[in-house]
Amino acid sequence: MTAFTADEAAPRSRRRTQPVGPLALESGDILEDVRVSYQTWGRLAPDGGNAVLVLHALTGDSHVVGDRGPGQPTPGWWPGLIGPGCPLDTDEWFVVAPAVLGGCGGTTGPSSPAPDGRPYGSTFPRVTVRDQVHAEALLADRLGIDRFALVVGGSVGGMRSLEWATTFPERVQRCVVLAASAVASADQIAWSVPQLHAIRLDPGFHGGDYYPGPGPRAGLEIARQIAHTTYRSAAELELRFGCGPQEGEDALRGGRYAVQSYLEHHGKKLVRRFDANAYLVLTEAMNSHDIGRGRGGVPSALARITADLTVGVVSSDRLFTPADGEVVASAPTCRELAVIDSPYGHDAFLVETEQVFDIVARALRRPAARPCTGTTARADPHGSALASTAAARP
């Protein structure tokens, strides 16, 4: 593969926002004047046949690759995926990455202006994964894309990838579902319940109408700490931290444990860039996930899929278990059930880029892919290095 510098491997793409009109929700509500924020790379072919849709996870955004910059507080979350000579080669593919409905990445969400001009706040309606996919389909319509050559996503993005293939089988040629499930499990919902309570019980929540104030910062920090625990494996946390104290502190005299410091760090990081109401909306959307709803159950829904389906599971994932992925892989059109061998738990779909990009390459029937030279996979996609335990103890 041709070597590229980091800048060349992550071509610049500015965020755009596209009005897509009103959206009828599963709840029966109508969300007026929906706008979808997105980024693109490459050029759409005259016949529209080279479009690829990349879908982000819970607190991700449309910034798949590239450095942080104005209006973009974090670097790309799948570095090395998109660009000339990359697994999604922009000389061949036109890549679209939308920000999810209900979030805070520029697409309509609870912090967006409602029809009365004030932020939606507590009035923002419940949305489902299926609603989010319908919003993305409206964006595709506006961009002139009738069919995607590939839809790919991990975690909640994997939920949406699967929902795309189920809801719009005629619009998806290939689908890659990573670290996701066909339906939200009781265990996944149970882990979310204390997160939702932590935010709503924070005195700064004010029923969801806290704009322009700081909002429930402590509650969101706690919610992220709970969630982040499920993103990593017990074995990895034990290896990195054990029951040791944070460097320079004595846990027996009121100091913190190292793993405690790690979780607190990630809670504070999220608060600096994410809206608490959006976290609630997206978490409840994740809980709503069920491709079998209204379709006769999961097996019947999987039978609707006509796309070539590739499923990736993480060997150590305790949030979306390999067994969850095996259910998705029971779809008649599934070509491959790939195991991402990793100690990192659920976050391995972001960490193990070589394995993940090889899965994408095989789905496209391309030779094994590697991230572009000059980009590095982050061992911790939420920001701290895994190279040494000390580095991971902010």
- The residues near 334 (Cβ < 8 Å, ≥ 6 apart) are 309, 310, 311, 328
pLDDT of 70: 77
Candidates 3.30.1330.10, 3.20.20.60, 3.40.50.1820, 3.50.50.60; CATH matching 6-392:
3.40.50.1820
Cα first-last separation, the chain: 37
Please state, in angstroms and rounded to a whole number, the distance separating the CA atoms of residues 260 and 11.
37
According to the model, what pLDDT value does residue 8 have?
41
Beta bridge partners of 257: 245
pTM: 0.91
Decide if 258 contacts 244 (C-beta within 8 A).
yes
| CB of 124 closer than 8 Å to CB of 117 | no
Rounded to whole angstroms, what are the CA distances from 361 to 219, 240, 366?
A: 40, 32, 5
Query: What pLDDT score does 220 carry?
Result: 98
Tens digit of pLDDT at every position of the chain (394 positions): 333 333 344 566 778 999 999 999 999 999 999 999 999 999 999 999 999 999 999 999 999 999 987 778 889 999 999 999 999 999 999 999 999 999 999 999 999 999 999 999 999 999 999 999 999 999 999 999 999 999 999 999 999 999 999 999 999 999 999 999 999 999 999 999 999 999 999 999 999 999 999 999 999 999 999 999 999 999 999 999 999 999 999 988 899 999 999 999 999 999 999 999 999 999 999 999 999 999 999 999 999 999 999 999 999 999 999 999 999 999 999 999 999 999 999 999 999 999 999 999 999 986 655 555 434 344 444 433 332 222 222 2
How far is it, in rounded angstroms, from Cα 158 to Cα 176?
A: 7
pLDDT in tens, 236-257: 999 999 999 999 999 888 999 9
Catalytic residues, by residue number, are 155, 317, 346
Peptide bond into 371 cis (omega under 30): no
Q: Token pair 């339906």 is at which residue? A: 183
* Range 180-200 burial, b when 16+ CB lie within 10 A, else e: bbbbbbeebbebbeebbebbe
Report DSSP letters for 363-375, one per residue: HTT-S---PPTT-
Contact 98, 107 (CB under 8 A): yes
Rounded (to 5) percent helix, strand, coil in the chain: 35, 20, 45
Tokens of 169: 């089988």
Hey, is 86 helix, strand or coil?
Answer: coil
d(CA 128, CA 25): 8
Quote the pLDDT of residue 277. 98
Could you tell me the residue ranges of all domains in the chain?
6-392
Instruction: State the residue for tokens 């204390």.
Output: 194
- The pLDDT tens digits of the residues spanning 85-127 come to 999 999 999 999 999 999 999 999 999 999 999 999 999 999 9
Q: What is the DSSP letter of 74?
A: S
Distance, CA of 306 to CA of 303 (rounded, Å): 8
Q: Would you state the structure tokens that stand for residue 112, as one six-digit string?
A: 């967006």
Q: Which residues pair with 111 in a beta bridge?
A: none
pLDDT at 210: 98
